[in-house]
Copies of this chain bind each other. A is one copy, B any other.
Amino acid sequence: MKHFEEELGDLKQRLLEMGGLVESAIYRSVLAVVEKDAEQAQQVLKNEARINQMEIEIDEFATRLLATQQPMAADLRFLTAAIKINSDLERMGDLAVNIVERALSLMHEPVIRPAIDIPQMAKLTESMVRKSLDSFVRGDAELARTILLSDDAVDDLRDTIYEELLSFMQKDSSNVRPGVNLMFVARSLERLADHATNIAEDVLFLVQGVEVRHHANLKP
């Protein structure tokens, strides 16, 4: 039987592997929208089952450790955080699939215009996701805190994109369908940023033992 420490290491590795799959899914889903790249879209749909399967396995693994090892303090926080991060990652995989579904519709629709802000929003979101996983690997509370701050920038970009798209849709009815699809893409990116923020909050809880969900303890 493996030593408990070794099992915790395995769990972390599995989460990182899943994180890698999810990052790749997000990256490909954005390419599918921006470059109208159908091959990337198909790849995301193909990898979805693997991500879902990993979620179930990680969940069972973490729960078993939690229930059988009577972990204390730091180990207990790690297992709790792992279960939450796992759930966030699985949901992020779903969001990448949602983006791909919109991308597939957009491929048959007129191009509204070079969608300047969607790639910018995607870049910021992808960077938040990357940093959230890095902060988890390194147990880096400082890095985790920078993610909480980026979330507002993503929300601002989303508002700008919504307003731009609304005005394009009002100007020309042929823009309505692609406009709606791009709005849903922006919405999914915003949700991805929310999940990166959740992971950052879990990292802060893990490193510092401080509950920052719903910004409960962020105020001075």
User: A70 contacts which chain B residues (CB < 8 A)?
Assistant: 67-68, 70
Closest Cβ neighbor of A172 among chain B residues? B173
Chain A: interface size category? 35 or more
Copies of this subunit: 2
Closest to A67 in B: B76
**How many angstroms from the CA of A80 to the CA of B79 in the assembled complex?**
13
Contact, CB under 8 Å: A211 / B56: yes
Return A69 CB to nearest CB of chain B, in Å: 8
Determine if A177 and B173 form an interchain contact, defined as CB atoms under 8 angstroms apart.
no
* A166 CB within 8 Å of chain B: yes
User: CA A52 – CA B177 in complex, angstroms?
Assistant: 36
Please tell me if A171 contacts chain B, counting CB pairs below 8 Å. Answer: yes
Residues of A participating in the B interface, judged by any CB pair closer than 8 Å: 49, 52-53, 55-56, 59, 63, 66-68, 70-72, 76, 79-80, 83-84, 87, 162, 166, 169-171, 173, 176-177, 180, 183-184, 187, 211, 213-214, 216
Residues in B whose Cβ lies below 8 Å from that of A173:
169-171, 173
**Which chain B residues border A187 with CB–CB below 8 Å?**
184, 187
Q: Are A213 and B52 in contact (CB under 8 A)?
A: yes
Q: Can you report 9 residue pairs joining A to B where beta carbons are below 8 Å apart? A: A53-B214, A56-B211, A66-B67, A67-B70, A70-B70, A84-B87, A166-B177, A169-B173, A184-B187
CA distance A4 to B219 in the complex (A): 36
- A59: B residues at CB distance < 8 A: 80
A63-B87 CB under 8 A given contacts A70-B70, A173-B173, A176-B170: no
Which of A63, A176, A216 has most chain B Cβ within 10 Å? A176
Minimum C-beta distance from A90 to chain B (A): 9
